[in-house]
Amino acid sequence: MKLSTKGRYATRILLCISRLQRVDQPVPKKRISEQEGISTDYIEQIIVPLKNAGLVNSVRGLRGGFRLAKESADITVYDILSASEGDINLVSCLAEGCSRSDSCVVQRVWQGASNELRDYFSKITLKELHDDYNKRVADQPIMFNI
């Protein structure tokens, strides 16, 4: 199983917003693009489902941009992935149903693995990622180039 770029980039975008937003200033799309190396057009595509899920708010205008709609401690990686990727199921028959579900003995394996992924991603908050980022940056040696 692989997450698409939408899920991975959505997580990076929200982490970037979490790191850069200030109380009175949203984070401009261009700044996110520069920080994360993601085109502004692709950011716009990824932001739409995040806004629809109530994870991000947008501010229009000259000083516009994006800000988190909730506290970072209240946003989980599962929230982000389910908004950007859809429900997390390893196989499509879990969400769509299957003509063999009455006799399929491995369906419980796929269901169990999907549940484990959901549980794992639900335990990790954006705040934790933000704190990990700050710790990693603080641990980096200072480079002096002359």
CATH number of the domain residue 11 falls in: 1.10.10.10
In the chain, the number of structural domains is: 1
In a domain, 138, yes or no: no
In a domain, 102, yes or no: yes
Q: Residues 42, 13: contact at Cβ < 8 Å?
A: no
Domain containing residue 111? 5-126
φ/ψ bin of 38: left (φ > 0), alpha (ψ from -120 to 50), beta (otherwise): beta
Residue 144, amino acid? F
Q: Which residue has the tokens 């149903």?
A: 97
Q: What is the pLDDT of residue 96?
A: 65
pTM of the entire predicted model: 0.85
Of 58-67, 81-90, 93-102, give the lowest mean pLDDT range. 93-102
In a domain, 110, yes or no: yes
Q: What is the pLDDT of residue 132?
A: 92
Find residue 56's DSSP bridge partners: 68
